[in-house]
């Protein structure tokens, strides 16, 4: 199986990525990428029994078949799996009572990759909003980095419960091990990093934050249990980083910041770069998991220059 790693590294070397203008992502991107690539490759080799010489179409078919097989096996137990996923994330972060998790397991999930209408601003406004966009990009790296970390490992917490749910020849837990390893390596060999809108991207889930008076509702949809953990976590961290928004921005300015920083085309590069950044944050923080929201809130309170300098420093 061939990987796009050389092409990915060449693009970051010449600064031709959506995140290259941010000094944190351009400080040592080769190291960030190679560390995550090696983690994904090791995961794949240790968990997957697929022939490593499979062609890309055969590899894609194997993933699609496994997705369907897992969904079929989970279907009678969806309510229980949803409950387990919610409890895991609640226990990890010790969520306050006003945060409501509303998760769903479903087979067909669609995501709108393009905004309905692009917001345009003047050059003067662009200059003013630049640090807000760059700060949002850095906070988004925590969303992606932490969620990929959750996706790969956290379902192990519920291994006994998962194995008791389905007792077939192949356990759900073993299916999750295989699935997470296949998807983790997928972005390194199937997606062209120069084409950010590609049909090769497999939509596995999505999350949305809804506000109702003083309550925050995190609506998550996913095709299976590991992905549901990933999406619930994204919702939690997404809600946390809202504290990093400058309340003095106008509605139009805020929408422009979101448009630029939350652009769908950034997501693939966050998958390459952000997991290692998140690992470095954890290494620097040295705190229990329940303290992570507090540390993220501290980052949100920093202005862009302070946050940028800190996230460059932890890479040295």
Enter the tokens of residue 178: 């295989």
C-beta of residue 184 within 8 angstroms of C-beta of residue 36: no
Instruction: Report which of 232, 23, 224, 6 is spatially closest to residue 109, judged by C-alpha positions.
Output: 224
Mean pLDDT over 62-73 rounds to 91
The pLDDT of residue 169 is: 75
CA distance from start to end of the chain: 33
Residue 38 has pLDDT above 60, yes or no: yes
Residue 76 has pLDDT above 70, yes or no: yes
Lowest-confidence segment of 23-27, 46-50, 93-97, 251-255 by average pLDDT: 46-50
Distances (CA, A) of 33 to 40, 145, 240, 281, 315: 11, 12, 26, 16, 13
Lowest-confidence segment of 227-231, 262-266, 274-278, 305-309 by average pLDDT: 262-266
The pLDDT of residue 164 is: 87
Mean pLDDT of the chain: 89
Residue 27 has pLDDT above 60, yes or no: yes
The pLDDT of residue 304 is: 97
pLDDT band at residue 142 using 50, 70 and 90 as cut-offs: very high
Distances (CA, A) of 29 to 157, 226, 268, 282, 285: 32, 28, 14, 18, 21
Residue 118 has pLDDT above 50, yes or no: yes
Per the structure, how many domains does the chain have? 1
Residue 211 has pLDDT above 70, yes or no: yes
Per the model's pLDDT, the better-predicted residue between 169 and 15 turns out to be 15
Lowest-confidence segment of 33-42, 181-190, 242-251 by average pLDDT: 181-190
Structural domain boundaries enclosing 41: 5-313
The model carries a pTM of: 0.90
Residue 200 has pLDDT above 60, yes or no: no
* Percentage of the residues of the chain whose pLDDT score is greater than 70: 92
The pLDDT of residue 191 is: 56
Mean pLDDT over 169-178 rounds to 88
Give the strand pairing for 99-105 and 215-222.
parallel
Lowest-confidence segment of 54-58, 107-111, 280-284 by average pLDDT: 54-58
The pLDDT of residue 198 is: 46
* Percentage of the residues of the chain whose pLDDT score is greater than 90: 63
Mean pLDDT over 136-151 rounds to 94
Per the model's pLDDT, the better-predicted residue between 92 and 55 turns out to be 92
Residue 80 has pLDDT above 80, yes or no: yes
pLDDT band at residue 185 using 50, 70 and 90 as cut-offs: confident
């Amino acid at each position: 199986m061939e990987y796009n790693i050389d092409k990915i590294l060449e693009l970051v070397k010449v600064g031709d990525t959506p995140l290259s203008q941010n000094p944190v992502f351009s400080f040592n991107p080769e190291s960030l990428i190679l560390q995550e690539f090696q983690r994904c490759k090791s995961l794949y080799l240790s968990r997957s029994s697929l022939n490593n010489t499979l062609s890309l179409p055969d590899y894609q078919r194997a993933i699609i078949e496994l997705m369907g097989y897992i969904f079929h096996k989970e279907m009678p137990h969806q309510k229980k799996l949803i409950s387990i996923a919610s409890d895991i994330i609640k226990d990890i972060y010790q969520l306050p009572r006003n945060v409501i998790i509303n998760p769903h397991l479903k087979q067909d999930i669609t995501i709108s990759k393009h905004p309905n209408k692009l917001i345009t601003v003047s050059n003067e406004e662009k200059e003013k909003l630049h640090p807000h966009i760059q700060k949002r990009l850095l906070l988004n790296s925590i969303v992606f980095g932490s969620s990929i970390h959750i996706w790969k490992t956290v379902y192990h917490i519920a291994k006994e419960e998962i194995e008791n749910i389905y007792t077939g020849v192949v356990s759900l837990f073993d299916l999750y091990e295989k699935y997470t390893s296949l998807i983790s390596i997928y972005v390194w060999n199937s997606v062209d990093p120069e084409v950010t809108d590609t049909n090769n991207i497999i939509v596995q889930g999505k999350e949305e934050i809804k506000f109702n008076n003083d309550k925050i509702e995190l609506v998550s949809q996913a095709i299976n249990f590991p992905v549901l953990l990933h999406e619930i976590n994204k919702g939690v961290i997404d809600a946390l980083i809202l504290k990093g928004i400058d309340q003095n921005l106008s509605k139009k300015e805020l929408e422009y910041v979101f448009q630029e920083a939350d652009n769908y085309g950034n997501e693939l590069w966050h998958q390459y770069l952000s997991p290692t950044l998140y690992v470095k944050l954890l290494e620097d923080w040295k705190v229990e998991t329940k303290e992570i929201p507090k540390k993220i809130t501290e980052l949100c309170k920093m202005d862009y220059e302070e946050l940028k300098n800190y996230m460059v420093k932890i890479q040295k």
